[in-house]
Amino acid sequence: MHAQLQRLYHDAEVATEKYNAVEGELSRQRKRLRELDAQVKTAEARLAGLRKKAGAAARAQYRGGAGLPAEIQFVLTPDLRRALEAASRTRQAQHSTANLISTLATTRQTVRDRRAAAAVELKRVETSRHTLSVQRKKIEKRIADAKQTESRLAADQRRDLAALEQQEAAEAQAKWVQAGSLRHVGTEAGPAGRKAIAFAAAQIGKPYVWGAEGPDGFDCSGLTSQAWLHAGVVIPRTSQEQWRRLERVPIKYMRPGDLIIYFDDASHVGIYIGDGEIIQAPRPGRNVYVSPVASMAILGVVRPDA
């Protein structure tokens, strides 16, 4: 039962982090689409205005006689040189306007094409989010079933399960410490790191909530991203992106404030607070709490304020 629940919680966290990543992508794609809509409107307005001015100029030119054939204008004008200069300026203006209209029309079409591509991409992301949402709900149902089974266990059996979980964490931590992993670890956080830790510490006791970034609940990366945001540092929203984009630090040189990434798929994260401990939002049914850093399989360490 213990192993089954651990596996289900891990699967659920993987699904949640993927869902969070798609949510972020969806937000960015919607913003991009709004920007492209504005660009299309601007290009169309400029093009319409330029065409209107060009038409007005042509009509005024015609009314002023410049619309007559050149040979007739030359016959009627008393100053041939001035007529040639006027005709040359008119042709240059017309040519410049035509070029500008052509350029604007090309720009408008380019933006329209980008907007169409962005709309297709938005649809793809929305479909992906729906698929991930369905997957997550299936995992949540399996977790609920497993927890219901667990709740039917006798009190002493539940205590045994909790004790087994604590024992496994303690053994993993002891092995990690005995290997000398804390020998060179830093003990002082940077100014931003201290603020991030203070924020995380203030959240202890709040529940784990799927996809939550506070203020009443958090998931694992929601806690770490908000902790660093309150320290004035913007970092990626998900544990996978935190692992991929933040600067990696050798475990033996980590310091308080660094983020510890867990499991081969980077599906979990906690914030290191020193003395071999992290603050983490662990899983459904649990609250934000302090735990041994090596209670789960460590993938690596990243430093938001490198």
**Contact criterion met (CB below 8 Å) for 282 and 239:** no
Per DSSP, what are the bridge partners of residue 300?
261
Whole-number Å distance between alpha carbons of 10 and 26: 24
Residue 31 has pLDDT above 90, yes or no: no
The total of other beta-carbon atoms located within 10 Å of residue 134's CB is 10
80 lies in the same domain as 201: no
Q: Which domain holds residue 111?
A: 2-148
C-alpha angle 192-187-197 in degrees, rounded to nearest 5: 35
The average confidence (pLDDT) of the chain is: 78
**Contact criterion met (CB below 8 Å) for 70 and 87:** yes
3-state secondary structure of 280: strand
What pLDDT, on the 0 to 100 scale, is given for residue 215?
A: 93
Segment holding 292, helix H or strand E: strand 289-292
Q: Which of 3-7, 202-206, 245-249 has the lowest mean pLDDT?
A: 3-7
145 or 189, higher pLDDT: 189
| pTM attached to this predicted model | 0.61
Whole-number Å distance between alpha carbons of 162 and 166: 6
Q: How many domains does the chain have?
A: 2
15 pLDDT band, cuts 50/70/90, is confident
79 lies in the same domain as 171: no
102 or 253, higher pLDDT: 253
Domain C-terminal end among 148, 177, 210: 148
221 lies in the same domain as 297: yes
Q: What separation in angstroms does the CA of 252 have from each of 57, 80, 290? A: 75, 89, 20
Identity of the highest mean pLDDT range in 99-103, 119-123, 131-135, 211-215? 211-215
48 lies in the same domain as 106: yes
Mean pLDDT of 245-257: 93
Rg (CA), the chain: 32
138 lies in the same domain as 170: no
208 lies in the same domain as 279: yes
What pLDDT, on the 0 to 100 scale, is given for residue 66?
A: 47
53 pLDDT band, cuts 50/70/90, is low
Whole-number Å distance between alpha carbons of 272 and 259: 6
Q: State how beta strands 247-249 and 259-262 pair.
A: unpaired
Mean pLDDT of 94-115: 70
Whole-number Å distance between alpha carbons of 46 and 38: 12
Residue 52 has pLDDT above 80, yes or no: no
101 or 46, higher pLDDT: 46
34 lies in the same domain as 101: yes
Domain C-terminal end among 148, 182, 201: 148
Whole-number Å distance between alpha carbons of 282 and 14: 13
From the number of C-beta atoms within 10 Å of its C-beta (0-12, 13-18, 19+), residue 32 rates as: middle
Whole-number Å distance between alpha carbons of 257 and 235: 13
CATH of the domain at 175: 3.90.1720.10
94 pLDDT band, cuts 50/70/90, is low
Comparing CA positions, the residue from 203, 301, 285 lying closest to residue 243 is 301
Residue 87 has pLDDT above 70, yes or no: no
89 lies in the same domain as 128: yes
CA dihedral 64, 69, 70, 75 (to 10 degrees): -80
- Percent of the chain clearing pLDDT 90 (strictly above): 29
The pLDDT tens digits of the residues spanning 266-303 come to 989 999 999 899 999 988 778 999 999 988 889 999 99
Helix residue ranges per DSSP H, the chain: 2-63, 70-76, 80-151, 155-178, 191-202, 220-230, 239-245
What pLDDT, on the 0 to 100 scale, is given for residue 17?
A: 77
What pLDDT, on the 0 to 100 scale, is given for residue 91?
A: 61
160 lies in the same domain as 299: yes
Residue 119 has pLDDT above 80, yes or no: no
Residue 8 has pLDDT above 90, yes or no: no
Identity of the highest mean pLDDT range in 22-31, 130-139, 163-172, 294-303? 294-303
80 or 167, higher pLDDT: 167
Domain C-terminal end among 124, 148, 172: 148
98 lies in the same domain as 163: no
Whole-number Å distance between alpha carbons of 173 and 292: 6
Q: Which of 133-137, 221-225, 275-279 has the lowest mean pLDDT?
A: 133-137
158 lies in the same domain as 299: yes
Per DSSP, what are the bridge partners of residue 268?
262
